[in-house]
């Protein structure tokens, strides 16, 4: 069942143009694990993005022979988003490289904790939180974020009858705030398809910190107006992560899919050595 579900997820996430790449299965180990097996890459978007943001990255990973799954992050709160992601991870057999963008870093940090199949964490323009830290607090640790003045809110009725508040980036602010190095027409489409995040999620804190026990890679974005690069660098240094810096907006997986894919491949290859 896990194999069927994992395959279905991969086919849904991969771009059209052919079947998903077949993993390199290597040799079977005594514990049922596979020595040298290529990991599946699981990609988790953050706020104001959606799973197709990873399309360019997925195509490059596929061209290199790796399967990839782009998860639709619910963006409700860290705990339930991480629980949802854990369900996806449990449906995938074999080793995993888990990648998070922006708020997605919170989700992968909690979801991967204690999962022996997650061999590497990759953070791209992302948060690497401690258990007592929230996205709103971290983004304000150093100056440079202009997110607060770029978002607007709307309310909606929750299943229990209460009122929830979600945030989106104002369409006329989206490109400057989120995707300044993305072509204007493409950025306009991203603004129209952005996924809202529950306002309360930005004050949530993770229950576990997987980066303390799983090797981590951090792609720093020097022109980021959501998570200032000084914040990213501080978190990466604290985690002892391997880093690379690129001159990019927050939407690095869209504007620099080749750089992101190559960085993920570095992490993936390290897991098979």
pLDDT digits (tens, 9 = 90+) for 94-134: 999 999 999 999 999 999 999 999 999 999 999 999 999 99
Question: Other CB atoms closer than 10 Å to residue 192's CB: what's the count?
Answer: 9
Cβ pair 100, 126 in contact under 8 A: yes
The tokens for 103 are: 């708020």
Give CA–CA dist 39/49, Å, rounded. 25
pLDDT of 30 above 80: no
Q: Is the pTM of this model over 0.85?
A: yes
Give CA–CA dist 43/50, Å, rounded. 11
Contacts by residues 34-38 (CB-CB < 8 Å, ≥ 24 positions apart): 34/94, 34/95, 36/272, 37/94, 37/95, 37/272, 38/65, 38/66, 38/67, 38/95, 38/268, 38/272
Give CA–CA dist 1/19, Å, rounded. 19
The pLDDT tens digits for 220-250 are: 999 999 999 999 999 999 999 999 999 999 9
State percent of the chain over pLDDT 90. Answer: 85
Cβ contacts of residue 181 below 8 Å, gap of 6+?
223, 248, 249, 251, 255
* CA 195 vs CA 9, 26, 74, 125, 222: distances in Å: 20, 38, 9, 17, 24
pLDDT score at 6: 40
The pLDDT tens digits for 172-225 are: 999 999 999 999 999 999 999 999 999 999 999 999 999 999 999 999 999 999
pLDDT score at 16: 36
Is the domain spanning 2-14+39-271 CATH 3.40.50.1820? The answer is yes
DSSP structure class, residue 15: P
Cβ pair 11, 20 in contact under 8 A: yes
The pLDDT tens digits for 259-273 are: 999 999 999 999 987
Confidence band (pLDDT; 50, 70, 90) for 35? low
State percent of the chain over pLDDT 70. Answer: 87
């Amino acid at each position: 069942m896990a194999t069927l579900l994992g395959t279905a997820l991969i086919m849904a996430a991969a771009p059209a143009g052919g079947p998903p790449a077949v993993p390199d299965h290597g040799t079977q180990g005594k514990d049922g694990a596979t020595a040298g097996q290529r990991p599946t890459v699981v990609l988790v978007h953050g706020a104001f993005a959606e799973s197709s943001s990873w399309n360019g990255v997925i195509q490059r990973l596929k061209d290199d022979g790796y399967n990839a799954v782009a998860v639709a992050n619910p963006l409700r709160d860290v705990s339930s988003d991480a629980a949802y992601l854990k369900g996806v991870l449990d449906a995938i057999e074999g080793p995993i490289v888990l990648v998070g963008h922006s708020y997605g870093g919170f989700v992968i940090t909690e979801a991967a904790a204690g999962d022996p199949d997650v061999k590497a964490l990759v953070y791209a323009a992302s948060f690497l939180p401690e258990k007592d830290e929230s996205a709103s607090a971290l983004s304000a640790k150093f100056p440079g974020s202009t997110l607060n003045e770029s978002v607007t809110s709307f309310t909606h009725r929750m299943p229990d009858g209460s009122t929830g508040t979600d945030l989106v980036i104002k369409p006329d602010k989206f490109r400057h705030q989120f995707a300044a190095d993305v072509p204007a027409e493409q950025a306009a489409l991203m603004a129209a398809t952005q996924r809202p995040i529950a306002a309360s999620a930005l004050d949530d804190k993770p229950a576990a910190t997987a980066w303390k026990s799983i090797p981590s890679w951090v792609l720093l974005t020097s022109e980021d107006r959501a998570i200032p690069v000084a914040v990213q660098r501080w978190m990466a240094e604290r985690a002892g992560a391997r880093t690379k810096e690129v001159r990019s907006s927050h939407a690095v997986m869209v504007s620099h899919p080749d750089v992101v894919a190559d960085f993920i491949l570095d992490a993936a290859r390290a897991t098979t050595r």
